[in-house]
């Protein structure tokens, strides 16, 4: 046996250089999240300068920005968790709609039956989360148990759920008539000046950041995305873990559905057709890897912010918001493209 003190036998000069630890500053500047954050700041400055009397940065408009980003953030964070494990969920937007429809129908029925406001709204929340979780579980089963590619499985589910939501509402009639306290008490409520739904979404994002960064669940998620076979080989329960990720993302979509009906006081059946793809764009722009193994929750927040800022800012300066679609698309391609070119992988 060789001597017990560590000698740098394994370290070859050229590999040493590659694997050297980076300083916190290097890591910060190397992170996509940082650059997207700076881009957000630049866009805020630009729109503030271009809008009349800087109305873009007014408190009223800031609140509108936060409120419109809440649902998108919940979807994007859920998707980022799935992407971390190398899985997709294209049905998140349909899940949102389905959850809100089920909750709205349940609440209308309860109001009709003379139930109290508080218990009705609580039931609405439970139905939203439950529907979201059930759809997530179904997706998870198709992917983790039956081994169907997640893109295909959730594409199929997207169609099934959307159709189901249309059938359940008599061909897409939006459901209204549930307690208005849902909107006044939550949807349009502000806490310390910040819209309650935005606070909720940011809290969830923060929680997910902690999970990814500091818990075994987070490590296992990244390990499964990074090398599914290695994860299996070290004895991780991959099937169970992937299932729970789909349920988690589904529940977050359900929560987004609850925010949706609380915000608009009606279901918005036709307003979320591109929600899942927008969530993919936001997560990937922020530095979450499509191939799995890397999640940036911070980047996801800034990615969602980018879409919201562009949408709102272009409208305020009187430009068609169609340009927002182009801008987000272009940023997505440029961000990922730059990453490819600068990647030092062998």
- Write out the binding residues for other proteins, residues 228-247 only, by CB under 8 A: 229-236
Q: Does 340 bind other proteins (CB under 8 A)?
A: no
Burial pattern 180-191, b for ≥16 Cβ within 10 A else e, equals eebbeebbbeee
Q: Does 58 bind other proteins (CB under 8 A)?
A: no
Smallest gap from residue 102 Cβ to other proteins (A): 31
Inter-residue contact 132 to 100 (CB < 8 Å):
no
Smallest gap from residue 16 Cβ to other proteins (A): 5
Do the strands 190-191 and 194-195 form a parallel or antiparallel pair, or are they unpaired?
antiparallel
Q: Does 10 bind other proteins (CB under 8 A)?
A: yes
Smallest gap from residue 81 Cβ to other proteins (A): 15
Please spell the DSSP secondary structure of 279-291, one letter per residue.
HHHHHHHTT--TT
Among 5, 52, 146, 322, binds other proteins (CB under 8 A): 5
CA distance 98 to 238: 28
Among 72, 121, 222, 283, binds other proteins (CB under 8 A): 222
Q: Strand ranges (DSSP E) for 82-124?
A: none
Tokens (6 digits) for 291: 């191939």
Nearest-5° angle of CA 91, CA 96, CA 99?
115
CA distance 258 to 127: 9
Q: Does 284 bind other proteins (CB under 8 A)?
A: no
Q: By C-beta, is 12 or 326 nearer to other proteins?
A: 12
Q: Does 25 bind other proteins (CB under 8 A)?
A: no
The interface region with other proteins, picked from 5-13, 62-70, 243-251, 316-324 by CB under 8 A, is 5-13
Smallest gap from residue 209 Cβ to other proteins (A): 13
Q: How many CB atoms lie within 10 A of CB 267?
A: 27
Among 149, 184, 215, 270, binds other proteins (CB under 8 A): 215
Q: By C-beta, is 42 or 339 nearer to other proteins?
A: 339
* E strand or H helix that includes residue 246: helix 238-264
Size, binding site for other proteins by CB under 8 A: 44
Q: Pattern 182-211, binding to other proteins, x per CB under 8 A?
A: ----------------------------xx
CA distance 320 to 282: 21
Contacts 24+ apart (CB under 8 A), 212-215: 212/81, 212/84, 212/295, 212/297
Q: Pattern 305-334, binding to other proteins, x per CB under 8 A?
A: ------------------------------
How many angstroms separate the Cα of 174 from the Cα of each of 147, 162, 182, 267?
35, 13, 17, 5
Distance of CA 23 to the CA centre of its chain: 29
Among 102, 133, 140, 220, binds other proteins (CB under 8 A): 220
Q: Does 225 bind other proteins (CB under 8 A)?
A: yes
Inter-residue contact 104 to 121 (CB < 8 Å):
no
Smallest gap from residue 37 Cβ to other proteins (A): 22
Q: By C-beta, is 21 or 320 nearer to other proteins?
A: 21
Inter-residue contact 94 to 100 (CB < 8 Å):
no
Smallest gap from residue 126 Cβ to other proteins (A): 24
Q: Does 294 bind other proteins (CB under 8 A)?
A: yes
Residues that bind other proteins (CB under 8 A): 1-12, 15-16, 18-22, 210-211, 214-217, 219-220, 222-223, 225-227, 229-236, 289, 293-294, 345
């Amino acid at each position: 046996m060789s001597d017990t003190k560590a000698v740098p036998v394994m370290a070859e000069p050229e590999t040493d250089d590659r694997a050297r630890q980076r300083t916190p500053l290097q890591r910060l500047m190397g992170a996509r999240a940082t650059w997207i954050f700076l881009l957000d700041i630049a866009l805020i400055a630009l729109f503030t300068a271009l809008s009349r009397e800087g109305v873009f940065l007014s408190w009223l408009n800031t609140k509108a920005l936060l409120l419109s980003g809440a649902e998108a953030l919940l979807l994007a964070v859920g998707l980022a968790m799935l992407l971390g494990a190398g899985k997709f969920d294209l049905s998140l937007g349909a899940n949102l709609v389905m959850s809100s429809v089920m909750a709205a129908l349940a609440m209308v029925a309860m109001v009709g039956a003379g139930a109290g406001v508080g218990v009705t709204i609580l039931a609405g929340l439970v139905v939203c989360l439950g529907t979201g979780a059930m759809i997530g579980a179904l997706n998870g089963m198709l992917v983790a148990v039956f081994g169907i590619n997640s893109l295909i499985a959730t594409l199929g589910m997207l169609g099934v759920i959307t159709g189901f939501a249309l059938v359940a509402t008599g061909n897409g009639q939006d459901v209204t008539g549930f307690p208005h306290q849902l909107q006044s008490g939550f949807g349009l409520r502000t806490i310390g000046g910040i819209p309650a739904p935005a606070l909720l979404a940011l809290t969830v994002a923060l929680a997910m950041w902690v999970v990814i960064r500091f818990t075994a669940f987070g490590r296992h998620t990244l390990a499964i995305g990074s090398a599914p076979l290695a994860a299996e080989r070290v004895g991780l329960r991959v099937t169970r873990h992937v299932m729970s990720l789909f349920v988690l993302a589904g529940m977050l979509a359900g929560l987004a559905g609850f925010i949706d009906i609380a915000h608009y006081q009606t279901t918005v059946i036709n307003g979320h057709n591109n929600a899942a793809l927008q969530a993919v764009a936001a997560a990937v722009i922020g530095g979450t890897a499509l191939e799995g193994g890397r999640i940036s929750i911070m980047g996801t927040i800034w990615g969602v912010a980018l879409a919201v800022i562009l949408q709102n800012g272009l409208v305020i300066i009187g430009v068609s918001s169609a340009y927002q679609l182009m801008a987000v698309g272009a940023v997505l391609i440029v961000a990922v493209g730059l990453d490819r070119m600068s990647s030092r992988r062998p």
